[in-house]
Amino acid sequence: MTDNLAGALCYAIGLITGVLFLVLAPYNQSKFVRFHAFQSIFFHVAWIAFWIGLTVVSMVMPFALHILISLLSILIGLGGFACWLLLMFKAYNNERFKLPIIGDLAEKQS
């Protein structure tokens, strides 16, 4: 498998494929694949933490604000999905696309 395909697949199932490509022998040698694996792990951990925080906030809010937060969470979810697709697309095209904070952390780890 080529590095660009492995880099794109790092994002496919989130944490699972990110860790998998860090462990598999031929792919953990490539800096490109390691970067995308770490960025995938950090992106999905941040996404999970964000959704947990948003769920807690929406449970505490009164009903009227709960509906507003629910509508906002749908828009944010679509944005996260688009970002996930963009990351896979950029990795498949052999680009080292860095997210603002997460990309720097991933670059230090790889």
Q: For residue 109, is it within any domain? A: no
Task: Indicate the number of domains in the chain.
Answer: 1
> Which carries the bigger pLDDT value, residue 70 or residue 10?
10
Q: Which residues contact 4 (CB under 8 A, 6 or more apart)?
A: 32, 91, 92, 93, 94
Q: Which residues contact 104 (CB under 8 A, 6 or more apart)?
A: 98
Q: For residue 76, is it within any domain? A: yes
Mean pLDDT over 4-12 rounds to 91
pLDDT band at 86 (very low <50, low <70, confident <90, very high): very high
Q: For residue 8, is it within any domain? A: yes
The answer for 58, left when phi > 0, alpha when psi is -120 to 50, beta otherwise, is alpha
pTM to 2 decimal places: 0.86
Structural domain boundaries enclosing 45: 3-104
Q: For residue 69, is it within any domain? A: yes
Report the pLDDT value the prediction gives residue 35, as an integer from 0 to 100. Answer: 93
d(CA 75, CA 27) in angstroms, rounded, equals 35
The string of pLDDT tens digits covering residues 31-58 is 999 999 999 999 999 999 999 998 888 8
